[in-house]
């Protein structure tokens, strides 16, 4: 049965939900408070990452986080604060940092990532979005030290056990694979399972396609209230209009938990800020790379190279910490000798807020207390990769269809 569905949030998750909901024959409206041209879904590194099967909440993260807290240029930062939501989230994060929980999450994350990558390929083959950038060169985990060769070596071994294709490259082999830009490194692990896209291009192509197939897109319209009567939402009120809906999909990224609070539901989530610097000059970089020690993502995109990094838990704010952006530029120069990112590029760096759940798994599914409210958020560092899989699963939930994947691990009301 065709339904009237409102998707709140027009980031990658909201757009992908709308894409698959429309394909199922529903009437879809996307409402976003922004112009839909900035934020996490535009500033990310564009990697499709089956390689990232270990969640952020892994053993050792708490100690490392505490060490990083005292370094203003570190790639990971938690602003200490007496905020009950943050403290609750931190407690759940700590509880998730056990080997047993991580082991349970690993195959689930892998499967969702592989499914999503396959859907990116299907979207490309459909021609719906034209010839968007999707390059399957894999991802290099580049290391400069023996310590990281060993650390990453263990991850690579685990990846192979999980059926992912990974090879180790020596410094010589790196020269061959990246001939036009020298790398100062001991070597790299090459995850051939990963792929690269150009987010602003994809977001534009997806928005254009959705408009063509008559998905209503309401930009610069903030949702202020979901009107519900007991266990059912009847309408969505924005700062400009009022809508009726059979189903509502909450895909508001980092803003989702602030919103669920209005419904009396505390959805544990924190915003993890990251920065991206774009360089339009020719860099000679052709291989997507993660610089392991510095924790910087290097992404050769269509028309520019992007350098991205940092995970800063300081709440929802728009403050760009210049010292952290500068640290990304300095880190890049240590790996690519002679590559200097100019001040101008540093000064125009953009930021995005990753919606981070405590256990590193997204929230995908229905809220039990309001039966026509579906949640699609909390994707943290993998939201770009997981957009299509999330959209597909949400369309199946709304259409009461058999799900493509088992989703109990993503239940929005799970216990931590």
Site for ligand FAD in 38-97 (CB under 6 A): 39-41, 43-47, 49
Provide, rounded to whole angstroms, the least separation between the CB of residue 43 and ligand FAD. 5
By beta-carbon proximity to ligand FAD, the closer residue of 127 and 257 is 257
CA distances from 149 to 155, 169, 337 (A): 10, 11, 20
- Return d(Cα 100, Cα 83) in angstroms, integer: 29
Contact (Cβ atoms closer than 8 angstroms) between residue 174 and residue 167 = no
Query: SS3 for 312?
Result: strand
Site for ligand FAD in 103-122 (CB under 6 A): none
| Closer residue to ligand FAD in complex, CB, 145/245 | 245
First and final CA of the chain: distance in angstroms?
36
Q: Give which of 258, 313, 191 is closest to 9, Cα–Cα.
A: 258
- The encoded tokens of residue 320 equal 């760009």
Q: Compare residues 36 and 114 and give the one whose CB is closer to ligand FAD.
A: 36
**Residue 38 beta carbon to ligand FAD: minimum distance, rounded to whole angstroms:** 8
**Is residue 139 within 8 Å of 47, Cβ to Cβ?**
yes
> Which residue, among 175, 200, 185, has the nearest Cα to 284 in the 3D structure?
175
Q: Which is nearer to ligand FAD, 44 or 283 (CB)?
A: 44
- Residue from 65, 75, 187, 274 binding ligand FAD (CB under 6 A): 274
Among 255, 307, 313, 363, binds ligand FAD (CB under 6 A): 255
Among left, alpha and beta (phi > 0; psi -120 to 50; other), residue 355 is beta
Question: Residues binding ligand FAD: what is the number (CB under 6 A)?
Answer: 45
Going along 67-158, which residue ranges are E strands?
A: 76-78, 134-135, 139-143
Query: Using the rule CB under 6 A, is 249 a contact of ligand FAD?
Result: no
Work out whether 195 is an interface residue with ligand FAD (CB under 6 A).
Answer: no
- Cα distances from 105 to residues 96, 192, 267, in angstroms, run 10, 22, 19
Residue 412 within binding range of ligand FAD, rule CB under 6 A = no
47-48, strands of its sheet edge to edge: 47-48, 195-197, 134-135
Tell whether residue 313 is a contact of ligand FAD (CB under 6 A). Answer: no
Q: Is 329 an interacting residue with respect to ligand FAD (CB under 6 A)?
A: no
d(CA 55, CA 51): 11
Residue 366 sits in the site that holds ligand FAD (CB under 6 A): no
Q: Is residue 354 within the footprint of ligand FAD (CB under 6 A)?
A: yes
Determine which residue in the list 5, 6, 11, 155 makes contact with ligand FAD, applying CB under 6 A.
Answer: 11
Q: Is 123 in the site for ligand FAD (CB under 6 A)?
A: no
> Residue with the closest Cβ to ligand FAD?
383
Q: Does 194 bind ligand FAD (CB under 6 A)?
A: no
Encoded one letter per residue, x for contact with ligand FAD by CB under 6 A and - for no contact, window 201-240 reads ---------------------xx-----------------
Who contacts 198 (Cβ-Cβ below 8 Å, separation ≥6)?
46, 132, 133, 301, 302, 303
* Separation between Cα atoms, residue 118 and residue 113, nearest integer Å: 9
Residues 374-393, interacting with ligand FAD (CB under 6 A) = 377, 379-385
- Nearest to ligand FAD of 46, 138 (CB atom): 46
**Where do we find the tokens 């998905």?**
215
The residues that touch ligand FAD, with contacts defined as CB under 6 A, are: 8-14, 31-34, 36, 39-41, 43-47, 49, 222-223, 251-255, 274-276, 297, 308, 352-355, 377, 379-385
């Amino acid at each position: 049965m065709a339904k009237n569905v409102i998707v709140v949030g027009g980031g990658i998750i909201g757009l992908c939900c709308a894409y698959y909901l429309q394909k199922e024959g529903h009437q879809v409206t996307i409402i976003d408070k922004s112009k839909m041209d900035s934020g996490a879904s535009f500033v990310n590194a564009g990697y499709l990452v089956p390689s990232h099967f270990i969640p952020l909440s892994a053993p050792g993260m708490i100690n490392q986080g505490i060490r990083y807290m005292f370094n203003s240029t570190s790639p990971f930062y938690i602003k200490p604060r007496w905020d009950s939501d943050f403290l609750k989230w931190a407690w759940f994060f700590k509880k998730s940092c056990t080997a047993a929980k991580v082991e349970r999450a690993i195959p689930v994350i892998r499967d969702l990532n592989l499914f999503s990558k396959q859907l990116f390929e299907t979207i490309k083959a459909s021609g719906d979005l034209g010839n968007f950038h999707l390059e399957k060169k894999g991802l290099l985990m580049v290391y400069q030290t023996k310590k990281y060769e060993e650390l990453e070596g263990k991850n690579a071994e685990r990846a192979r056990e999980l059926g992912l294709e990974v090879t180790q490259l020596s410094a010589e082999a790196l020269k061959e694979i990246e001939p036009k830009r020298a790398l100062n490194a001991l070597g790299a692990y090459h995850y051939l399972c990963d792929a690269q896209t150009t987010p602003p291009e994809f977001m534009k192509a997806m928005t254009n396609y959705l408009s063509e197939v008559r998905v209503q897109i309401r930009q610069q319209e903030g949702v202020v209230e979901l009107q519900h009567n007991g266990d059912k939402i009847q309408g969505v009120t924005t700062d400009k209009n009022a809508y009726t809906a059979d189903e509502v999909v909450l895909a508001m990224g980092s803003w989702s938990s602030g919103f669920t609070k209005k419904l009396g539901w505390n959805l544990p989530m924190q915003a993890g800020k990251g920065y991206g610097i774009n360089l339009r000059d020719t860099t000679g970089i052709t291989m997507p790379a993660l610089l392991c020690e510095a924790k910087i993502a290097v992404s050769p995109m269509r028309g520019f190279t992007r350098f991205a990094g940092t995970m800063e838990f300081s709440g929802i704010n728009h403050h760009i910490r210049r010292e952290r952006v500068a640290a990304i530029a300095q880190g890049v120069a240590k790996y690519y000798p002679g590559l200097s990112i100019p001040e101008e590029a540093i000064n125009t760096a953009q930021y995005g807020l990753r919606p981070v759940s405590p256990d590193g798994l997204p929230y995908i599914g229905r809220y039990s207390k309001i039966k026509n409210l579906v949640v699609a958020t909390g994707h943290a560092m993998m939201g770009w990769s997981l957009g299509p899989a999330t959209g597909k699963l949400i369309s199946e939930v709304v259409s009461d269809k058999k799900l493509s994947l088992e989703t109990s691990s993503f239940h929005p009301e799970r216990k931590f």
